[in-house]
Amino acid sequence: MHPDPIQKALNLGVDVSVDKPTTIGLKECSELVKLADSKQLVFVTLSQRRYEDVYQTVADIIKNGGLGEPRLINYMIAHEFFERGKDTWRRRKSKAGGGALIESGYHGIDTILWLLGKCKNPIYAKSISAICYPDLESPYPHDAIETMTVARIRLNNDGIFNFIASYENPKGSLDENIKIFGSKGAVRIMRDRPYKTRSDQSAAILSYQHARGAYSVYDTREWVGQRWAPLEDFLEAVIARKEGREWKVLSPASDSLQTIKVIEKAYESAKLNGQETQL
């Protein structure tokens, strides 16, 4: 339901910040980005991970050549199914647009594509194959969302990006892991929360290992999930625009285009029983 209010706001000259996903489809998002650009308005998608110190540090490692050429990326996000036992619109594909893939998987896809853009020679997704597992307890069996997606993305440098998005965790738990293996080293981000998912805002564990084996763990005890940062970034940009100053945001809605395209093609592949689909 995002496109209509966003379009109306932009047409009225109002800057927009929207939670991910910006839209369900690529076409709608592209049209809104063009509209915002034509009116020189701030249009932000709230992609939280980009703002956190852990992910900013990984971006620095990549920019400084610490990974070399990324070869293999594994990403998993899994948490409880918050709608289990309920009869809500979020369990209907026609109303929600999807389940675990577009709601939770968006975080990982957006983050990885953003990080790959920091490479000396930016890397992008080339094709995808995906399988979606439906909500078997859905009150809408012919309109059910997926509770788990497993996918493989081929990258333009012949690297592989595997990801899993799942609602199959025990109640109150969250597992989110990223491992990126490159020609010069590897980074591991571990954010596993067996309980108190919603209240635990401590940072993930981050480690780096050189290709020759040297291993180091970052001290992330003082780092926290900066949930406010995307909104702060948006407001600062809005103030700068109104004052006639140059502005820039870390998570422009235009960056959503590649993320939404990957998700859209993943659903397309899933309908074809996992057939590889070009991006």
In a domain, 251, yes or no: no
In a domain, 272, yes or no: no
> For residue 130, what is the domain's CATH number?
3.30.360.10
Task: State the Cα–Cα distance between residues 217 and 73, nearest whole angstrom.
Answer: 19
Q: Which amino acid is at 149?
A: T
Count of the separate structural domains present in the chain: 1
Three-state DSSP class for 262? helix
Task: State the Cα–Cα distance between residues 36 and 77, nearest whole angstrom.
Answer: 32
In a domain, 70, yes or no: yes
In a domain, 32, yes or no: no
Task: State the Cα–Cα distance between residues 117 and 279, nearest whole angstrom.
Answer: 16
In a domain, 103, yes or no: yes
Of 177, 176, 170, the residue nearest 195 (C-alpha): 170
H or E element in which residue 130 lies:
strand 125-134
Query: Angle of helix 256-271 relative to helix 26-38, nearest 10 degrees?
Result: 170
What tens-digit pLDDT sequence spans the chain (279 residues)?
Answer: 899 999 999 999 999 999 999 999 999 999 999 999 999 999 999 988 999 999 999 999 999 999 999 999 999 999 999 999 999 999 999 999 999 999 999 999 999 999 999 999 999 999 999 999 999 999 999 999 999 999 999 999 999 999 999 999 999 999 999 999 999 999 999 999 888 766 777 889 999 999 999 999 999 988 977 888 999 999 999 999 999 999 999 999 999 999 999 999 999 999 999 999 999
In a domain, 259, yes or no: no
pTM of the model: 0.94
Which residue segment(s) compose the domain that 77 sits in?
49-223
In a domain, 67, yes or no: yes
In a domain, 244, yes or no: no
- Encoding tokens for residue 249? 């945001």
Task: State the Cα–Cα distance between residues 58 and 42, nearest whole angstrom.
Answer: 27
